[in-house]
Amino acid sequence: MEETLSRIITDLEEPHVPPTTNYSSSSLLLQQPPPLSESTLSDLHRLVGADNPELLGRFFEDLASKNLPLSSLARRIGSTMGSGSTPRLSLLASDVYLSLLLSPNAPVLSLFAPMAFVSLLQSVRKSVKSRLEIPEKDSGSGARAPAKPKRKGGRRGPASRNLSHVGNEDVEETEIDVRLFFDVLEKLVLVMDLIHLDRFPDSLKSLVHTVAELPTMVPDSFCNSSVYCKLTNLCSQLLRAALRPEHGEQANSAAEILKSLSPLILLAKSEVRTFALRFVTNCMVEVGKEWEGLRKAVVNLLKYLVQKAPEKSELRALAVDSIMEIFRALAHGDQVRFVEYVVKMTEGKSSFRLLAVDLILPIVMLLKDTLGVQANEVNDLWGLRCLQALIKRCSDSNAAIRARALSNLVQLVGSFAHDDRSCKILKEVLGIGEGVGQKTEATINNLLKIRCLDEKAAVRKAALHLLTKLTSFFSGSIDGVLVKTMGMACSDPLVSIRKAAVSALSETFRKFPDGIVATEWLHSVPRLISDNESSIQEECENLFLELVLEKISRAGSAGSSHNYSAPYKLHNKDRDFERQIDLLFPDGALALLREICNGEVVPWIKKICKSLGKKNRLRPVVATALQNMIRASESLWLSQSLPIEKWTAPQGAWFLLSEVSAFLPNAVDWEFLHHHWQLLDKTRLGCEIKTPLTQGDWHEDNDDVEPYSVTWAGDRVFLLQTMSNISLELPSDPAADLAHNLLKRIEGFNMHPTEVNAHVKVLRTVCKQKALSVGEADALILRWVRQLLSKATQVIEKFLSENTQANEEGSFFTPPRSGNRRGRRSMTTSELLSQATIAAYTVGSLVIVCPSADLSQVIPLLHKIITSGDRHPKSKLLPAPQVSLKQIAGSLYIQGWLTMGKICLVDGKIAKRYIPLFVQELEKSDSAALRNNLVVMMADFCVRYTALIDCHIAKITRCLGDPCELVRRQTFILLSRLLQRDYVKWRGVLFLRFLLSLVDESEKIRELADFLFGNILRVKAPLLAYNSFVEAIFVLNDCRAHGGHCSSQSSQSESRLFSIRGIDEISRSKRMHIYTCLLKQMAPEHLLATFAKICAEILAAASDGMLNIEDATGQSVLQDAFQILACKEIRLPTSRNSTLESPEMDEESNGSGGTSAAAAKGRVISQAVRKSLIQNTIPIFIELKRLLESKNSPLTGSLMDCLRLLLKDYKNEIDDILVADKQLQRELLYDMQKHESATARSEAAEAVAVMEKSGNNHTPQASNAPRGMSRQNKSSNELQSNSRVASALADAAAEATARSVLREVNRGTSTPPLSSLKVPKVRSCNGATGSRGAPSNRPREVLESLRRQPFGSDDEG
Q: Over 167-224, what HEC string results?
A: CHHHHHHHHHHHHHHHHHHHHHHHHCCCCCCCCCHHHHHHHHHHHHHHHHHCCCCCCC
Nearest-angstrom CA–CA distance, 965 and 971: 10
Structure letter (DSSP) for residue 492: -
**Is pLDDT of 854 > 70?**
yes
Distance (Å, whole) CA 387 – CA 408: 10
Give residue 233's Cα distance to chain centre.
Answer: 51
- Mean pLDDT computed over 1255-1277: 43
Instruction: Annotate 295-359 with DSSP letters as a single string.
Output: HHHHHHHHHHHHHH--SSHHHHHHHHHHHHHHHHHS-HHHHHHHHHHHHHHTTS-HHHHHHHHHH
Q: What distances in angstroms separate CA 206 from CA 74, 211, 234, one per listed residue?
A: 18, 9, 16
pLDDT tens-digit series, residues 76-92: 888 888 776 677 888 88
- Whether residue 461 contacts residue 419, with contact meaning beta carbons closer than 8 Å, is answered with no
Residue 540, pLDDT above cutoff 90 = yes
What is the number of other CB atoms lying within 10 angstroms of the CB of residue 646? Answer: 17
Higher-scoring residue by pLDDT: 581, 500: 500
Asked if the model's pLDDT at residue 1163 lies above 50, the reply is: yes
Evaluate if residue 24 carries a pLDDT over 50: no
Please state, in angstroms and rounded to a whole number, the distance separating the CA atoms of residues 981 and 988.
18
- Between CA 1279 and CA 1256 the distance in angstroms is 11
Tell me the per-residue pLDDT of 287-329, one tens digit each, with 9 for 90 and over.
777 788 888 888 888 888 988 888 888 888 888 999 998 888 8
Residue 173 bridge partners (DSSP): none
CA distance 259 to 252: 10
Segment 814-833 mean pLDDT: 58
pLDDT of 821 over the 70 cut? no
> What pLDDT was estimated at residue 548?
92
Point out which residues pair with 1107 in neighbouring strands. Answer: 1042
Q: How far apart are CA 782 and CA 787, in angstroms?
A: 9
Q: What's the pLDDT score for residue 1353? A: 37
Type of residue numbered 1257 = N
Instruction: Spell out the residues 6+ positions from residue 1119 whose beta carbon is closer than 8 angstroms to its own.
Output: 1063, 1068, 1195, 1198
Q: What is the mean pLDDT of residues 1042-1062?
A: 64
What is the DSSP secondary-structure string of 1027-1055? HTHHHHHHHHTT---BTT----SS-HHHH
Kindly state the percentage of the chain with pLDDT values over 90: 17
| pLDDT tens figures, 856-906 | 899 999 998 888 765 544 444 334 345 567 778 888 999 999 999 999 999
Q: Vertex 418, ends 417 and 419: CA angle to 5°?
A: 95
Instruction: With CA atoms as reference, report the closest residue to 74 among 109, 37, 113.
Output: 113
Give whole-number Cα distances, 3 to 6, 7, 45, 96, 1304, in Å: 5, 6, 14, 18, 80
* Cα–Cα distance, 47 to 7 (Å, whole number): 11
Question: Does the structure show a pLDDT above 70 at 853?
Answer: yes
- Supply the angle between the helices 53-65 and 2-13 in degrees, to the nearest 10: 30
Give the angle subtended at the CA of 1316 by the CAs of 1311 and 1318, to the nearest 5°.
125
| pLDDT attached to residue 1310 | 44
| Res 894: pLDDT | 92
Q: Which of 497, 606, 609, 627 is nearest to 555 (CA)?
A: 627
Indicate left, alpha or beta for 105 from its phi (over 0: left) and psi (-120 to 50: alpha): left
pLDDT tens-digit readout, 961-981: 899 999 999 999 999 999 888
Among 136-140, 274-278, 712-716, 775-779, the minimum mean pLDDT is found in 136-140
Euclidean distance between CA atoms 56 and 111, whole angstroms: 14
Peptide bond preceding 815: is omega within 30 degrees of 0, i.e. cis? yes
Q: What is the rounded CA–CA span in Å between residue 279 and residue 291?
A: 16
What is the model's pLDDT at position 1221? 61
Task: Taking residues 272-281, report their average pLDDT.
Answer: 88
**pLDDT tier, 1220 (very low <50, low <70, confident <90, very high otherwise):** low
Using pLDDT thresholds of 50, 70 and 90, give the confidence band for residue 1042. low
639's CB contacts (< 8 A; 6+ apart) are 564, 565, 566, 567, 568
pLDDT digits (tens, 9 = 90+) for 177-206: 778 888 888 888 898 888 888 888 898 899
Residue from 1318, 1316, 1319, 1325 nearest 1343 by CA: 1325
pLDDT at residue 1277 greater than cutoff 60:
no
Diameter of the chain by CA atoms?
162
Q: Of the ranges 99-113, 850-864, 1129-1143, 1164-1178, which is most confident?
A: 850-864
Neighbours of 530 (CB within 10 A): 13
* 563/555 Cα distance (integer angstroms): 15
Neighbours of 1017 (CB within 10 A): 22
Q: Which residues have C-beta within 8 Å of that of residue 1196, sequence separation ≥ 6?
A: 1185, 1188, 1189, 1235
Written as one string, the DSSP assignment of 531-598 is: -S-HHHHHHHHHHHIIIIIHHHHHHHHHHTT----SPP--SSHHHHHHHHHHHHSTTTHHHHHHHHTS
CA distance between the termini of the chain: 109
How far, in Å, CA of 451 to CA of 395, rounded? 8
For 1061-1086, the pLDDT digits (tens) are 888 889 999 999 999 999 988 888 88
Q: What does the pLDDT average to over 460-479? A: 84
Q: Is 988 left (phi over 0), alpha (psi -120 to 50) or beta?
A: left
pLDDT value for 158: 37
Phi, psi of 1342 (to 5 degrees): -65, -45
pTM of the model: 0.72
Contacts of 553 (CB under 8 A, 6+ apart): 619, 621, 622, 625
* Cα 1295 from Cα 1273, distance rounded (Å): 33
Q: Are 298 and 330 in contact (CB under 8 A)?
A: yes
What is the CA 533 to chain-centroid distance, rounded? 18
User: pLDDT digit string (tens) for 117-149?
Assistant: 888 888 888 887 765 554 444 444 333 333 444
pLDDT in tens, 591-621: 888 888 888 899 999 999 999 999 999 999 9
Using alpha carbons, select from 660, 522, 676, 674 the residue that is nearest to residue 588: 522
Check if the beta carbon of residue 335 is closer than 8 Å to that of residue 383: no
- The helix (H) or strand (E) run that includes residue 761 is helix 753-770
Q: Rounded distance, CA 1249 to CA 1281, Å?
A: 13
Rounded CA separation 753/744 (Å)? 16
Q: How far apart are CA 1174 and CA 1207, in angstroms?
A: 10
Instruction: Please give the C-alpha separations between residue 289 and each of 281, 282, 297, 537, 642, in angstroms, as whole numbers.
Output: 12, 11, 12, 60, 87
Q: What is the mean pLDDT of residues 399-419?
A: 86
pLDDT band at residue 428 under the 50/70/90 scheme: confident
Q: Give the model's pLDDT for residue 604.
A: 93
The predicted model gives 1213-1237 an average pLDDT of: 66
Confidence of residue 1202 (pLDDT cuts 50, 70, 90): confident
**Rounded to 5 degrees, what are φ and ψ at 155?**
-85, 155
Q: In the prediction, which pLDDT does 10 show?
A: 77
Cα separation, 360 vs 341, in Å, equals 11
Share the mean pLDDT of the chain.
76
Which residues are registered as beta bridge partners of 1329? 1335
Q: Is 76 helix (H, G, I), strand (E, B) or coil?
A: helix
- The identity of residue 1054, as a single letter, is E
Q: Pick from 115, 113, 1: which is nearest to 62 by CA?
A: 1
pLDDT, one tens digit per residue, over 1095-1128 is: 888 988 888 888 888 888 888 999 999 999 888 8
10 Å Cβ neighbour count for 226?
Answer: 9
